[in-house]
């Protein structure tokens, strides 16, 4: 019985990680994304360096390590959303 629930928990964690990876991809592809203006140092460490090829498997591995608990996951998810909002604001303001 416990094995089945463990599988469900891993599935849910993987789905949440997939959603966060999708948000990271949107952030990196956004026209208003400026790596130097990322506020969260933790998020900045997860993102590839400017001009570097994006190795999504590597980013996912770093993300999995960084999201060691629910608090860390929530912090990174909020940080990505804030950065997406800021990127959008840069476009709207014409910066």
pLDDT tens readout for residues 11-43: 577 889 999 999 999 998 999 999 899 999 999
Domain of 56 in residue numbering reads as 2-93
- What's the whole-number mean pLDDT along residues 41-67? 83
Residue 46 and residue 88: Cα distance in Å, rounded?
A: 21
Residue 89 has pLDDT above 70, yes or no: yes
Residue 95 and residue 84: Cα distance in Å, rounded?
A: 15
Which among 45, 41, 35 has a CA at the least distance from the CA of 86?
35
Q: pTM of the predicted model, to two decimals?
A: 0.79
Q: Number of structural domains, the chain?
A: 1
Quickly count: other Cβ atoms within 10 Å of residue 27's Cβ.
21
Helices 2-29 and 70-93 meet at what angle, rounded to 10?
Answer: 20
Please tell me the predicted confidence (pLDDT) of residue 1: 47
What is the rounded average pLDDT for all residues in the chain? 84
């Amino acid at each position: 019985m416990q094995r089945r629930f463990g599988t469900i928990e891993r599935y849910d964690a993987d789905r949440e990680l997939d959603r966060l990876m999708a948000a990271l991809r949107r952030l990196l592809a956004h026209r208003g994304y400026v790596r130097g203006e990322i506020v969260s140092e933790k998020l900045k460490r997860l993102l590839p360096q400017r001009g570097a090829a994006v190795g999504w498997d590597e980013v996912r591995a770093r993300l999995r390590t960084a999201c060691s608990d629910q608090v860390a996951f929530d912090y990174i998810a909020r940080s990505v959303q804030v950065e997406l909002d800021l990127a959008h604001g840069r476009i709207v303001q014409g910066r």
